[in-house]
Structure 1
Amino acid sequence: MKQLAKEFAEKAHHGQTRKNSKAPYITHPIRVAERLEESGYSDEAVCAGYLHDVVEDTPYEIEDIKETFGARVAELVAAHTEDKSKSWQERKQHTIDVVKHAENEVKYLIVADKLDNLLGLEHDLKAQGDSVWDNFNAGVEKQKWYNEAIATNMYVGINSDYVPDFFDEYVEAVKRVFK
């Protein structure tokens, strides 16, 4: 199922590139899925890692995910899919609320995604400077607010025995990028 999810995501994101580079977009979902797999999470969570941006950024719909990968994968992807008809602020507040109140696997998926995005941003800032902020819908202050809010709320309701190492890595990345 994981290989099928990877292939589905590769097809769905074909021709797309990352925001600040010419890198194929699919490199991001692959890294998210690999992080989840390395952390020992379920096959469904790993599949959701590959597929997490498909509904948001391609013509595919959540029903396509459910039909191909089952209800659980679709549930994880849906929990992390933003409603693009809403404003940036509304979408980000919704994600903060989800990460605060969601079950652990949803939190793991969201934070793995946000960490990979932040590490990519950190790399781009080093390579290209502050001009990378011009490619975002919100400036550095709003991005700082959003990432700090994710870092604060991701721990809510998780027993310390179930906090993955990449949560701490995310907190450190937020500190470095928004110092």
Structure 2
Amino acid sequence: MIEKAKIFAAEAHKGQKRKNSNTDYIVHPERVAESLLKAGFRPEVVCAGYLHDVVEDTSYTLKDIEKAFGEEVKALVDAHTEDKSKSWQERKSHTIQSVREGSVEIKALIVADKLDNLQSLSQDLEVYGDKIWSNFNADYQHQEWYYQSVAEVMGVGLKEKDVPAFFHTYRKLVKQTFD
């Protein structure tokens, strides 16, 4: 099932590149899925890691995800998928709410995604400096608000023993990037 999701995502994102780079887009979902796998999440969650951007960024739909991977994977991808008809602020506020209220699996899927984005952003800042902010739909202050807000709510409702280790990495990187 995991290998099938990896192949599906690679085909769906074929030809796409990461923001600010010439890196194939599939590298991002691969890193998200790897974080989830290393943290010991179920195969359905790892599959959602591979597939988390498919509905937002390709012609595939949630029905396609459900048909290929079942209701559980579809529900996880759906919980992560943003409604692109809404404003940046509305989409990000919804994601923060999803992290606050979601299960540990939903929280982990979203935080693994945001961690990888933040790691890429941190590398780009070292190479290109502050001019990279112009490549995003929101400026530095809005990005800071968003990443810090996710950090503030990601542990809500979790016992310390249930917090994935990469949440701590995320929190440190937010401080490093925005302080």
TM-score category of the 2 structures, normalised to the smaller one: over 0.9
- Local SS of the residue matching 1:133: helix
Aligned to 2:52: 52
**Is 1:144 equivalent to 2:134 in the alignment?**
no
Sequence identity percentage: 56
Aligned to 1:159: 159
Aligned to 2:19: 19
Give the partner amino acid of 1:94. Answer: H
Give the partner amino acid of 2:118. Answer: L
Q: What do the CA deviations read for 1:42-74 (whole angstroms, capped 9, x no partner)?
A: 000000000000000000000000000000000
Q: What do the CA deviations read for 1:121-148 (whole angstroms, capped 9, x no partner)?
A: 0000101111111110000000000000
Give the partner amino acid of 1:75. Answer: A
Query: Which aligned pairs between 1:55-94 and structure 2 lie closer than 5 A?
Result: 55-94=55-94
**Counterparts of 2:82 and 2:33, CA distance in 1:** 19
Q: Any runs of at least 4 consecutive aligned residues in structure 1 with deviations exceeding 4 A, and if so which?
A: none
Aligned to 1:177: 177
- Local SS of the residue matching 1:156: coil
Structure 1 residue 12: Cα displacement: 0.4
**Counterparts of 2:133 and 2:64, CA distance in 1:** 34
Aligned to 2:123: 123
Aligned length: 179
Alignment gaps of 5+ in structure 2: none
Structure 1 residue 160: Cα displacement: 1.0
**Is 1:110 equivalent to 2:110 in the alignment?**
yes
Give the partner amino acid of 2:130. Answer: D
Give the partner amino acid of 2:120. Answer: G
Calculate the aligned-residue CA RMSD, in Å. 0.4
Alignment gaps of 5+ in structure 1: none
Structure 1 residue 6: Cα displacement: 0.3
**Counterparts of 2:121 and 2:103, CA distance in 1:** 27
**Counterparts of 1:149 and 1:165, CA distance in 2:** 18
Structure 1 residue 170: Cα displacement: 0.3
Give the partner amino acid of 2:155. Answer: Y
**Counterparts of 1:159 and 1:61, CA distance in 2:** 34
Aligned to 2:42: 42
User: What TM-score, normalized by structure 2, do the two folds share?
Assistant: 0.99
User: What TM-score, normalized by structure 1, do the two folds share?
Assistant: 0.99
